[in-house]
Amino acid sequence: MRSRVAIVTGAARGIGAATAQRLAADGFAVAVLDLTEDDVRDTVAAIESAGGRALAVGADVGDSEQVQLAVDRIAAELGPPVVLVNNAGVTRDNLLFKMTDADWDLVMHVHLRGSFLMSRAAQQHMTEAGWGRIVNLSSTSALGNRGQANYAAAKAGLQGFTKTLAMELGRFGVTVNAVAPGFVVTDMTRATAQRLGQEWEPYVAARAAAIPVARAGQPEDIAHTVSFLVSEGAGFVSGQVLYVAGGPRT
């Protein structure tokens, strides 16, 4: 994998940072992308201190011009990207009658439009190489979750997007899959607890108690799964949604 280049979006912290570090450990040169280059300095430093290659990239994944410039820069400085992990995401949770247009639009902008723009820009390099991997981050919320009409719709949309790209790109040697995490300890889930007015540690304990494997997920759990899906050994796995939730639906 040493000569191959991966892009991980939303890689400043949490699942994105863990995934970027795991792919670097696997031998990929990793473009670590978030809204600004400063946001990803810590992730890049962690990769480089472990002996890996990384590039800090700032871009709004929902902005077509910024995305194309970012992918062009990555190709020029690291090499043509053949792995893309669409992890960038935001939440703007609220019940339907309280949800604003801006709440809806921002979540669609980042999750759906962002994954579309990043995939469209990166796929050219993959098809030209005759090998590629796209992994989209969905969620168990795609199955429905109170107060997350926007987020659930976006994550369900990513599953349809994944299956369609798998059909279109498979003949070029490109696989496309989705990972749907359950409850994972991140800044995003901490914000959810705060929104619900719950203390963090009791909230985690209560969520873990409802999970069959009896623990909360960690970002590294998702990173390990992505590592498999982008590997050579996963070349016959495409168009799948893999729930990584400690049980069937948690």
User: Which residues belong to the active site?
Assistant: 151
Q: Is 10 exposed, middle or buried (0-12, 13-18, 19+ CB in 10 A)?
A: buried
DSSP reduced 3-state for 187: helix
Could you tell me where the DSSP H helices lie in 78-113? 101-108
Q: Residue 178, Cα to own-chain centre: how many angstroms?
A: 9
Cα 144 to Cα 20: distance, rounded to the nearest angstrom? 28
CA of residue 139 relative to chain centroid, distance: 10
Question: Please, what is the end-to-end C-alpha distance for the chain in angstroms?
Answer: 34
Give whole-number Cα distances, 159 to 39, 93, 135, 153, 233, in Å: 28, 20, 11, 10, 22
220 contacts 14 by C-beta, under 8 angstroms: no
Partners of 157 in beta bridges: none
CA distance 24 to 47: 7
Q: Which residues contact 136 (CB under 8 A, 6 or more apart)?
A: 86, 115, 158, 161, 162, 176, 177, 178, 179
